[in-house]
Amino acid sequence: MLDLLKNLYHRAELVTGKRLYLLFGITFTVFLLAGLFIGYFTRRPLNSDETKPPSGTEAKVYNVSVERKGRITFTDPAMYPKDKVKYVLIEETGEEVPVRSTDDKLELVQGLDVVVSGKFMPSKDGGKDVLVVEEVIIRN
């Protein structure tokens, strides 16, 4: 096996000039044709028309980070059973926003005025969207 690799290496060293350019050209052409051939047969055709939603109905954008101010308070977990929400953010306007977190940061700031940032996710029970909190800043 090692002798075979040595022989191949010595033959490759002997290829120079026009033969080297010819070898590169043929290799390039073979891979170009193979890529076009594979791309032609693996492309997926459009199955249905891409249409815009009718004007007046706006789709909600969920993967955008938002920042809200208010007070974190405990709520009855039975109000949002599928979403496992235990806390709500009561904003300065009086609106309640259900919030949840992957760790215990909401338990630590319960009853305090905070600024929370995170992303809204659709509610599993079809109610209000849930704010998944990523960062909490305590306000004075």
Instruction: Examine residue 58 and state whether it is found in any structural domain, yes or no.
Output: no
Antiparallel, parallel or unpaired: β 113-121 and 96-100: unpaired
Q: CA torsion, points 28, 29, 33, 36, in degrees to nearest 10?
A: 50
pLDDT at 46: 65
20 and 83 part of one domain: no
Same-domain check for residues 71 and 26: no
pLDDT at 60: 63
Strands 96-100 and 65-74: unpaired
Q: Give the structural domain span for 82.
A: 65-138
Q: Does any domain span residue 17?
A: yes
Residues 81 and 133 in one domain: yes
pLDDT tens sequence for the chain (140 residues): 889 999 988 988 888 889 899 999 999 999 999 999 988 888 776 666 666 655 555 556 677 889 999 999 999 888 888 888 999 999 989 999 999 998 989 999 999 999 999 999 888 877 788 999 999 999 87
The pLDDT value given to residue 50:
63
Residue 60 lies in a domain: no
Q: What is the CATH number of the domain that holds 79?
A: 2.40.50.140
Q: Is 124 within a domain? A: yes
Q: How far apart are the C-alpha atoms of 120 and 41, rounded to whole Å?
A: 40
Residue 31 lies in a domain: yes
Residue 29 maps to a domain: yes
**Inside any domain, residue 20:** yes
Residues 131 and 80 in one domain: yes
Closest CA to 116 of 67, 78, 82: 67
CA angle 128, 96, 56 (to 5 degrees): 45
85 and 131 inside one domain: yes
Can you give the pTM of this predicted structure? 0.55
Tell me whether residue 103 is in a domain: yes
- Count how many domains the chain has: 2
DSSP code string of 15-81: --THHHHHHHHHHHHHHHHHHHHHHHHHPPPP-S---PPPTT-PPPP-SSEEEEEEEEEE--GGGST
**Short-list 110, 129, 124, 137, CA closest to 64:** 129
Contacts 24+ apart (CB under 8 A), 53-57: none
36 and 76 housed in the same domain: no
- 119: tokens are 């992303």
DSSP element (H, E) containing 10: helix 2-14
